[in-house]
Amino acid sequence: MYVPERYRDRPGDLPDLGALRTELDRVARGGFAVNRERSERGLVAVGVPVRDEDGRAVAGLSVSMPSVRYDPRGLRSLVATLETSARALEADLASGP
């Protein structure tokens, strides 16, 4: 996905892999990610992992909204709600079919 050949016709879009690693480390430490108009203009998404019994991320839970409705002051509350829902999903997955 990040090979330079994919960006031959648009070299300015070539991702900075060092910055990507730094961001992924920050996401892993924080336990959530925020996508502010990166994949689609006008859209913000916040997501958390859903983990299996061994702690491996097996799915994700996210909510998206128009960027004009996103207020960073509400991020902690939104993440807390997503985490509560993710823990409930994890419990359901752990209990089996």
What does the pLDDT read at residue 14?
Answer: 85
Per-residue model confidence (pLDDT) at position 64:
97
Sheet arrangement for strand 33-36: 33-36, 43-51, 57-66
Q: Which two tokens stand for residue 53?
A: 């019994």
Kindly report whether the global pTM for this prediction surpasses the value 0.85.
Answer: no
pLDDT in tens, 40-95: 899 999 999 999 999 999 999 999 999 999 999 999 999 999 999 999 999 999 99
Cα–Cα distance between 16 and 45 in angstroms, integer?
21
Q: How many CB atoms lie within 10 A of CB 79?
A: 19
Dist CA 65 CA 36 (whole Å): 10
The whole-number pLDDT of residue 38 equals: 83
d(CA 71, CA 32): 16
